C-alpha cells in the first residue's frame, strides 16, 4: 500500500524542551504553540511546575509565567527523558536550586558522568549513584568554565550552557563535531550574550539581566517526519508533503542522505520561527542506493540511524555505518536492538562496536519484535512491518508516546 498525504506534525521535541526551560527563567509570560505532544516534553513541564513555575494550556498554546525557580519539595521524576534530566540539572544548578532527580529503568542506566564532571568542575557539589541516577544537587555556586568536550552531544553542551547562564564568569565550550545547536539559537534569540565561532562557544552569564519573554511556534519535528519519509522511500508510488518542518543543518542529515541515495527530497518555501529556519518538505519514492556513513555525519542523523538500517536492507549492495557508538547509550542499546530485530526479520546485518554492515536487498519476514521499550525502535519496526512478507508483532506499541502519541493514527491515515 503506498503512502500519500500532507502532514502537519507536532513541534520538534528538542526545541520544545528548551523553550519550556528558557520560558521558565525569562522575564514575563511566554507563549508556545505547536509544542511536542510527547510524554518526554510533558515530563519537562511537570518538573518545572514542581519547581514553582506556572504553566497553563490556553487558546491552543501553552502559557508559561517566567519567574523564580524554587527548590522542589519532591524528587523530580525525569521518566524516560535524557534531555529533561541533563538540561534541567544544568538549568537548576545555574539558579542555585537544590533538587533530587530520578527516572525510569532506562534512564537510570544511562551515563551521567558526561555532565556531572564539567558541572563539578564549575563548582557544583552533586551526589550520584556512581555517575547514574538518582542524582542530588547539594550545592551550586558556579564559576564559568573553559571546557573541551570529548563528546559531540547536544544534551551535554546544553547542560553546560544553561548552567553557565548562572555562573560567575564566562563559559567557553568546544565540541569535536557540531551537535544540535538549538540551545545556542534560542539563547541568542532571547537576548543572551553568546558567540558561536565554528565549534567554539562563548557565553556571558546573565548576572542581573534576564532573557526576554517570547511567543514561539515550534517547527515540525524532522525526527518524527523521518519515520513517514522512510515508509515513502520503501513503498513504490508513495509521496508525502510535510508542512513546516525544522530546517536546521545539525538535524537534517537524514534527509540529505536520502537525497544522496536517490530518494526524491524537495525542500520548498522557507521562513523563520524563533531563531530557526522552517520549510515545507516533499518526499517521493525513487529506487534506493546503498551508503556509507562515518563519524562526521553521525550527530546530524543520530536519532534516525534505526531507520537508515531498515533502508539499507532494501538497497542493492553493501551499506555501512560507523562512529555511532553513542547509540549504545540511548533509551536502549540501539545497535543491539537494530541488529537483533533485523536479523530476526532475515536481514543480512553484522554488528560492529560502533555501528553495523548491511547487505541488501532482502525480503523481510514477519516476526515478533523486541522494542526494548524504546519509542524509536517501536516506530522503526512499525514501518518495517509495512514491507514485511508476514505479520510483525511488537512487544510494546505504547512506548511511541514518548515522542509521538499519535503515530499509529497518522500512519493509518496516510496509508492508502
Residues with a known catalytic role: 303
303 binds ligand S3P (CB under 6 A): yes
Nearer of residues 181 and 273 to ligand S3P, judged by Cβ: 181
CB of 156 to ligand S3P, least distance (A): 6
| DSSP secondary structure letter of residue 321 | E
Nearer of residues 303 and 374 to ligand S3P, judged by Cβ: 303
Site for ligand S3P in 169-228 (CB under 6 A): 179-180
14 binds ligand S3P (CB under 6 A): yes
Rg (CA), the chain: 21
CA distances from 98 to 71, 92, 335, 373 (A): 5, 8, 36, 31
Region label for 291, one of left (φ > 0), alpha (ψ between -120 and 50) or beta (otherwise): beta
Nearer of residues 3 and 332 to ligand S3P, judged by Cβ: 332
Distance CA 136, CA 76 (A): 10
CB of 153 to ligand S3P, least distance (A): 3
Check if the beta carbon of residue 133 is closer than 8 Å to that of residue 63: no
**CB under 6 A: which stretch of 27-35, 43-51, 148-156, 162-170 binds ligand S3P?**
148-156
Which alpha helices (H) appear in 26-177, and where do they start and end? 39-50, 82-94, 105-108, 113-121, 154-165
Could you identify the residue written with the cell 545556542? Answer: 184
CB of 291 to ligand S3P, least distance (A): 20
> Which residue is closest to ligand S3P by CB?
154
Cβ within 8 Å of residue 67, ≥6 positions away: 24, 52, 53, 54
154 binds ligand S3P (CB under 6 A): yes
**CB under 6 A: which stretch of 123-131, 151-159, 339-347, 384-392 binds ligand S3P?**
151-159
Nearer of residues 158 and 382 to ligand S3P, judged by Cβ: 158
Instruction: HSE, CB side, 13 Å, CA atoms: give it for residue 391.
Output: 2
Q: Which secondary structure element, helix H or strand E, spans residue 22, and what is its range? A: helix 13-25
Rounded to the nearest 5°, which phi and psi values hold at 207? Answer: 50, -115
341 binds ligand S3P (CB under 6 A): no
Cβ within 8 Å of residue 189, ≥6 positions away: 214, 274, 275
Distance CA 45, CA 36 (A): 11
CB of 388 to ligand S3P, least distance (A): 26
Nearer of residues 158 and 314 to ligand S3P, judged by Cβ: 158
302 binds ligand S3P (CB under 6 A): yes
Check if the beta carbon of residue 170 is closer than 8 Å to that of residue 150: no
Q: Please give the grid coordinates belonging to residue 290.
A: 546503498
13: cis peptide before it, omega within 30°?
A: no
Q: Please give the grid coordinates belonging to residue 96.
A: 542555585
CB of 125 to ligand S3P, least distance (A): 24
36 binds ligand S3P (CB under 6 A): no
**CB under 6 A: which stretch of 96-104, 133-141, 153-161, 240-248 binds ligand S3P?**
153-161
83 binds ligand S3P (CB under 6 A): yes
Size of the site for ligand S3P (CB under 6 A): 12
CB of 154 to ligand S3P, least distance (A): 3
Could you identify the residue written with the cell 573541551? Answer: 148
**CB under 6 A: which stretch of 150-158, 213-221, 332-340, 392-400 binds ligand S3P?**
150-158
CB of 183 to ligand S3P, least distance (A): 8
* Residues near ligand S3P (CB under 6 A): 14, 83, 153-156, 158, 179-180, 302-303, 326
Amino acid at each position: 500500500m503506498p503512502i500519500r498525504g500532507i502532514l502537519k506534525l507536532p513541534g520538534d521535541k528538542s526545541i520544545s524542551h528548551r523553550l519550556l526551560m528558557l520560558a521558565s527563567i525569562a522575564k514575563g509570560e511566554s507563549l508556545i504553540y505547536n509544542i511536542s505532544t510527547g510524554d518526554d516534553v510533558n515530563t519537562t513541564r511537570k518538573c518545572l511546575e514542581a519547581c514553582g513555575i506556572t504553566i497553563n494550556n490556553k487558546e491552543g498554546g501553552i502559557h508559561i509565567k517566567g519567574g523564580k525557580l524554587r527548590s522542589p519539595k519532591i524528587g523530580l521524576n525525569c521518566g524516560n527523558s535524557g534531555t529533561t534530566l541533563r538540561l534541567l540539572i544544568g538549568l537548576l544548578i545555574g539558579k542555585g536550586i537544590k533538587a533530587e532527580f530520578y527516572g525510569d529503568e532506562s534512564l537510570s542506566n544511562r551515563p551521567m558522568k558526561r555532565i556531572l564532571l564539567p558541572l563539578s568542575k564549575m563548582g557544583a557539589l552533586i551526589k550520584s549513584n556512581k555517575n547514574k541516577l538518582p542524582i542530588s544537587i547539594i550545592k551550586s555556586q558556579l564559576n564559568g568554565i573553559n571546557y573541551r568536550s570529548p563528546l559531540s552531544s547536544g544534551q551535554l553542551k546544553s547542560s553546560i550552557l544553561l548552567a553557565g547562564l548562572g555562573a560567575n564568569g564566562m563559559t567557553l565550550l568546544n565540541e569535536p563535531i557540531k551537535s544540535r545547536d538549538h540551545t545556542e539559537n534560542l539563547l541568542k534569540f532571547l537576548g543572551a550574550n553568546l558567540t558561536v565561532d565554528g565549534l567554539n562557544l562563548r557565553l556571558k552569564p546573565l548576572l542581573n539581566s534576564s532573557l526576554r519573554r517570547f511567543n514561539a511556534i515550534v517547527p515540525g519535528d524532522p525526527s518524527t517526519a523521518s519515520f513517514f519519509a522512510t515508509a515513502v522511500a520503501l513503498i513504490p508510488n508513495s509521496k508525502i508533503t510535510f508542512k513546516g518542518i525544522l530546517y536546521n543543518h545539525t538535524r537534517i542529515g537524514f534527509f540529505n542522505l536520502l537525497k544522496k541515495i536517490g530518494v526524491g527530497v524537495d525542500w520548498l518555501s522557507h521562513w523563520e520561527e524563533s531563531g530557526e529556519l522552517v520549510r515545507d518538505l516533499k518526499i517521493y519514492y525513487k529506487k534506493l542506493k546503498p551508503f556509507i556513513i562515518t563519524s562526521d555525519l553521525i550527530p546530524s542523523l543520530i536519532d534516525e540511524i534505526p531507520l537508515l538500517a531498515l533502508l539499507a536492507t532494501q538497497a542493492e549492495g553493501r551499506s555501512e555505518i560507523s562512529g555511532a557508538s553513542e547509540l549504545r547509550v540511548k533509551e536502549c542499546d540501539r545497535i543491539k536492538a537494530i541488529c537483533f530485530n533485523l536479523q530476526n526479520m532475515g536481514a543480512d546485518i553484522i554488528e560492529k562496536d560502533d555501528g553495523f554492515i548491511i547487505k541488501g536487498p532482502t525480503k523481510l519476514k514477519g516476526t515478533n519484535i523486541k522494542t526494548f521499550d524504546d519509542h524509536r525502535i517501536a516506530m522503526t519496526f512499525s514501518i518495517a512491518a509495512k514491507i514485511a512478507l508476514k505479520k510483525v508483532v511488537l512487544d510494546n506499541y505504547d512506548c511511541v508516546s514518548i515522542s509521538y502519541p499519535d503515530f499509529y493514527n497518522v500512519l493509518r491515515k496516510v496509508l492508502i
